Homo-oligomer: A and B are copies of this chain.
């Protein structure tokens, strides 16, 4: 109700759309300031030279604007991408040099688009429900609008009115009409595509002094505020800045968010856009950066390409603008230093100045344990990042109990991912896609993205009856979210998060609690209590996708050495080769693997019987689209099954100096003293010392006193090591 009023408030305010140009990227006075500083700061000088060298190659040449034909990776696709970057950069140079040749370069290309665009229909390679004109998908057309809109604005003053008329009606109008009429429902959708589409139409609106365009961009084609940029700012982020599609996609969406906001800040200062929703764009950036690995790569939740890090163009843009509008931030400086280039705008100068001669920039971003709620109201589960360690010795356990995450979401309720020393240890496959590689289905998501990577078995969470959560149906998944039960991330020796999921499977209650511990002697271990309970009997599989080489197991297994078959036939199981199998009774089963220079051991309690599998992805993959990655899978059958697993980070292997220390797990035995609806009490023998975990499963109040098994504690959980409480 309050939000509706706010939007209505904005709607009736006078529109301060200014006719000053340029205004979308920077203003004349900002351009003058940049010019005066170009030689002062090395990274600014370098960034300028790079752009200038790139653009200068095209001066005096006839730039090709080909008729659209190819998918991503193909010539016409790459050329149109290169063209919008070229126009934008040349537009900047025009303002920084006042040399008309840069404006002419942009004008000539724009005039070609003015001829081309009115002739375009759906791209011949279009396969999605939102086809593009210039590119195979409308999303790329939106990218084009964002940059071409800014380019036009940057050279606006150099154009004759007749030229403006031709470009506005020839190059831009067909695209804007296509978006806001033919693809209206796509344009209005709350989704990263929609953010791009609004930014594109809005920036073109500002550049062409078109109030109609700007209004549609801000409030949706119906101008009722249910769609449009402000709705995207409300709908896709939780109040603390978590982006519902996950970190990989905030990396992508943050660019149009920041670029359009940057334009609005000058053209529509009345919106005070950077302060909107308690500065949600600042929170978006910070939460995105917290969700990166030591090497700057975004955590691979949902459909994510693992290569993407914070040195990407999107993050350069966001960081530089954020520095300008939100002020100094040491964390951003770390990122900016690794980016090693800046935007040629006010933020870029300020960062370049801050980096010059600065020897105290930390090596790593300021990572800390954090939790983010999901959902626009912050009531749709969330994600916790338990973090222990400093510098390169940082370990991050990510626990995901979010909502589905729209069309790029995976069926991975209560999934965990572990990073240690910059390496991904318990892994998430990410997405099956070779972005920009034409031979791989034009760079699109490959079929195995749906059939394997998004299925539950490709993650580190329970699969019941070889069927993915919500039966692998997105529309079902989107209805629900997991719920956090309790957590505490304010300790350097015990961090804990508990969450439940009741909708992934009918009549199955899933409850998982992660204890990330650092023992007094420095050893790190995770105790993972995962209960599945149901009135009916089920087969439960708990996979641990791991990265590394198997070193040892505590159990014997049958190895399929001469012939291999798949683990199953559907729901992702058909992609797993069964390499080995073991059946165990009443045991603590352990296996150790080596990743880089550290050992990791998984110890898991088997009560009654369980079957263990070692699998490897790559079956049913005729096109070699999948990486070959191993998993360790624990299979149990019953109504109520408990999975109590300890994951240890231990030892050191130095293949150069040839030494190996602490290569054996220190866990000797796991016992479940009690496990029911009321309490879970687990005892872990760590060498000759006892680790005891007591947890209440129904009352999560911090002040409730509990007694069971002669153990007394207060609050939802307690942990003791060697008789002393850990906290």
Residues of A within 8 A of B (CB): 72-73, 78, 81, 305, 307-309, 311-313, 434-440, 443, 549-552, 559, 561-566, 574, 577, 579-580, 592, 594, 614, 616, 618-622, 624, 627-628, 653-661, 663-664
Instruction: Write the chain B residue with the least CB distance to A616.
Output: B628
Specify which of B311, B592, B616, B627 is in contact with A439 (CB 8 Å cutoff). B592
**What residue in chain B is nearest A566 (Cβ atoms)?**
B562
CB <8 Å contact, A305 and B436 = no
CA distance A551 to B436 in the complex (A): 12
Contact between chains at A312 and B656 (CB < 8 Å)? yes
Flag if B439 contacts A305 (CB, 8 Å).
no
Bound-complex Cα distance A442 to B474 (A): 50
Q: Are B657 and A561 in contact (CB under 8 A)?
A: no
Number of copies: 2
With A and B bound together, what is the CA distance between A659 and B313 in angstroms?
12
- Chain B residues with Cβ under 8 A from A654's Cβ? 436
Q: How far is the CA of A577 from the CA of B628 in the complex (A)?
A: 13
Residue of B nearest to A310 (CB): B656
User: In the complex the two chains form, is A622's CB within 8 Å of B561's CB?
Assistant: yes
Name the contact of A656 in the complex, choosing from B311, B550, B559 (C-beta under 8 A): B311
Instruction: Give the docked Cα–Cα distance between A664 and B661 (Å).
Output: 47
Closest to A73 in B: B660
| Least Cβ–Cβ distance between A654 and chain B, in angstroms | 8
Q: Shortest Cβ distance from A665 into chain B, in angstroms? A: 11
Q: What are 20 inter-chain pairs, A to B, with CB distance below 8 A?
A: A307-B655, A307-B656, A309-B656, A311-B656, A312-B657, A434-B551, A435-B655, A436-B653, A436-B655, A437-B653, A439-B551, A439-B663, A439-B664, A440-B551, A549-B627, A550-B624, A564-B565, A579-B618, A580-B622, A628-B628
Question: Roughly how many angstroms separate A549 CA and B659 CA in the complex, as a whole number?
Answer: 33
A562 CB contact (under 8 Å) in B435, B565, B580, B594: B565
Nearest CB of chain B from residue A106's CB, rounded to whole Å: 21
Q: How far is the CB of A280 from chain B (nearest CB, A)?
A: 26
A333 and B311 CA atoms in complex are apart in Å by 32
Partner of A552, one of B311, B439, B580, B627: B439
Whole-angstrom CA separation of A440 from B655 in the bound complex: 14
- What CA separation (Å) do A619 and B664 show in the bound complex? 26
Residues of B within 8 A of A78 (CB): 659-661
Q: For the complex, what is the distance from the CA of A654 to the CA of B437, rounded to whole Å?
A: 10
Query: Can you name the residue of chain B whose Cβ is closest to the Cβ of A443?
Result: B660
* Min distance, Cβ A440 to any Cβ of chain B, angstroms: 6
Closest to A550 in B: B624
Q: For the complex, give the distance between the alpha carbons of A622 and B562 in Å.
A: 10
Closest 8 CB pairs of A and B: A307-B655, A559-B622, A550-B624, A439-B552, A436-B660, A564-B564, A561-B620, A73-B660
Residue of A308, A566, A627, A628 with highest tally of chain B CB at under 10 A = A628
Contact B657 A437 (CB under 8 A): no
| Chain B minimum-CB-distance residue to A557 | B622
Report the bound CA distance from A618 to B562 in whole Å. Answer: 10
With A and B bound together, what is the CA distance between A305 and B559 in angstroms?
26
Given contacts A78-B659, A312-B657, A549-B624, contact A561 B437 (CB under 8 A): no
The residue of chain B having its C-beta at the shortest distance from the C-beta of A654 within the complex is: B436
Given contacts A440-B552, A564-B619, 8 further A-B contacts (CB under 8 A): A307-B656, A309-B656, A436-B653, A439-B592, A440-B551, A561-B620, A564-B565, A579-B618
**Chain B contacts of A661 at CB under 8 A?**
78
Give Cα A549–Cα B618 distance, bound, in whole angstroms.
Answer: 12
